[in-house]
């Protein structure tokens, strides 16, 4: 399936860039006229994915977070957030709610939050090579009021 529109964003893994990523993705998707709830769901999931790159993948350094947003026919949106960080040893375990490797105040809910706000969540990772998170959302069709 070929996208009808696409944007790629590369940004440094600075915590200040998390808000930019969230807004940039939402701005690109705005062309589909999503509901407020849909746009908020997407912003939350993107925020969690980018934060994972910053906190976990690149915990010891600043590096690049790669974001690709693809829009397909029938209002399907796929967002890929990728890093070249440390990778995840056990993806299945990492996706369990409350599991975290960061300790401290981290709740370990990132993947659970992403999954709850998106229709589909796919995570691929290789130790020492990085992690790819694919977030998929089917936007609803809105009816316009006559007037």
pLDDT tens profile 101-139:
555 454 556 677 888 899 999 999 999 999 999 999 999
94 pLDDT more than 80: no
Which pLDDT does position 82 carry in this prediction? 98
pLDDT, tens digit (0-9, with 9 covering 90-100), for 63-87: 999 999 999 999 999 999 999 999 9
CB 49: neighbour CB atoms within 10 A? 32
- Structural domains for the chain: 5-138 (3.30.565.10)
Query: In the structure encoding, which two tokens stand for residue 103, read together?
Result: 């300790």
Asked if 65 contacts 81 with a C-beta cutoff of 8 angstroms, the reply is: yes
Which pLDDT does position 71 carry in this prediction? 98
Catalytic residues: 48, 52, 106
Asked if 80 contacts 125 with a C-beta cutoff of 8 angstroms, the reply is: no
147 pLDDT more than 50: no
Give the global pTM.
0.88
- Please give the sequence-ordered ranges of beta strands (E in DSSP) within the chain, or none if there are none: 5-12, 64-72, 76-83, 120-126, 130-138
Backbone angles phi and psi of 82, in degrees to 5: -130, 145
Compute the mean pLDDT over every residue in the chain, rounded to the nearest whole number.
Answer: 89
Mark out the alpha helices in 2-138 (DSSP H runs). Answer: 17-29, 36-52, 91-94, 110-117
CB 71: neighbour CB atoms within 10 A? 18
């Amino acid at each position: 399936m070929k996208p009808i529109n696409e944007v790629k964003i590369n940004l440094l893994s600075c915590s200040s860039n998390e808000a930019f990523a969230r807004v940039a993705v939402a701005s690109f998707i705005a062309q589909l006229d999503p509901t407020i709830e849909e746009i908020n769901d997407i912003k939350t999931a993107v925020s969690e994915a980018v934060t994972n790159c910053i906190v976990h993948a690149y915990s010891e350094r600043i590096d690049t977070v790669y974001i690709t947003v693809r829009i397909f026919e029938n209002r399907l949106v796929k967002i890929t957030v990728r890093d070249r960080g440390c990778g995840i040893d056990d993806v299945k375990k990492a996706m369990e709610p409350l599991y975290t490797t960061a300790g401290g105040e981290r709740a370990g809910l990132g993947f659970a939050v992403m999954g709850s706000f998106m229709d589909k969540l796919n995570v691929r990772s290789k130790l020492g090579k990085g992690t790819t998170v694919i977030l998929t959302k089917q936007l609803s069709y809105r009816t316009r009021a006559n007037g």
